[in-house]
Amino acid sequence: MYQERTGAAGTTICSVGDPVGSIESSVGGYWAIAPSDAARPILRQSGAGRKYLEFSGVTQALQVPNFALTSRMYVGAAAQNAVSGSGMWFLEQSAQAALNDGFLVRGTSTFAWLVRRTLSHSAVGSGNWSGISLSALEWLYTTATQAYYLDGVAQASGTIAGTLVSDTTATDTLNIGSRNGASQFFNGSLYALVIADSADTLSAGDLANLRTWVGQKAGRTL
């Protein structure tokens, strides 16, 4: 994690309170890069000692270029919504959202996962992501059925008709904290993010470990 927006060429390691220009994923070799200096989220630390990224809802965002997806995924995040406002987009694979495709979490007074244009991105069940609580948000798609979880509690599930866009689109930009890096910026905190592709090949133990880790980052037992 570096202050510079130069990925692996970064030299200034972030301390608490510093702007974060580049973050390397733990696996996969991906770099999340802020699109400008002003867009860099800030590394903060809670009273409980947890570190997180602060997004102010103005221009802070990260982008992962050439992000490859497969159709079967596990996405888990420990995040906090600062306000129950509307129009904040938390995760988006950019070009797909213009077609209401790809995947995203929209941090409104409810949270919503959108996976394919055939699925509504309105509120998912009663899975409210409201107020300011730190929550574990998960989307699990390992078979033809997908399921959404809030703090480990299944909110809704359904069968995906047809193929996911990621079946036919190899790579795209992953936006964290904005819509396409240009609007609807996230106002909140990100404590952890896991995106595991080929999730249908994960062992039950590996999947459980991922979910446990996300839950721990959110202060939950999943």
Partner 1 sequence: MMATAYTHSLVVIAPTELWASIQALNAALGHDVGDGRPLSATGAEPETHRGVQAWVQQTFAHQATGAEELPADAPEGTAALLSACTISADELIDPIGSGPSTGELSTYGSAAGHWAAALAAAQLQVIE
Contact footprint for partner 1 (CB under 8 A):
5, 15-19, 35-40, 42, 44-47, 49, 54, 56-59, 82-83, 87, 182-184, 187
Task: Give the dihedral sign, CA 148/195/143/173.
Answer: positive
Least distance from partner 1 to the Cβ atom of residue 81, Å:
12
Q: Which is nearer to partner 1, 38 or 170 (CB)?
A: 38
- Which strand (E) or helix (H) includes residue 217? helix 204-217
From the list 212, 38, 56, 73, the residue with the least C-alpha distance to 136 is 212
Nearer to partner 1, 163 or 183 (CB): 183
The stretches of 89-187 forming alpha helices (DSSP H) are 94-97
Cβ 26 to partner 1 shortest distance, Å:
23
Residue 10 Cβ, how far from partner 1 at the closest point, in Å? 15
Q: How far apart are CA 88 and CA 72, in angstroms?
A: 25
Nearer to partner 1, 108 or 187 (CB): 187
Q: Kindly state the smallest distance separating residue 101's Cβ from partner 1, in Å.
A: 21
- Assess contact for 35 and 48: CB atoms under 8 A: no
Nearer to partner 1 among residue 46 and residue 145 (C-beta): 46
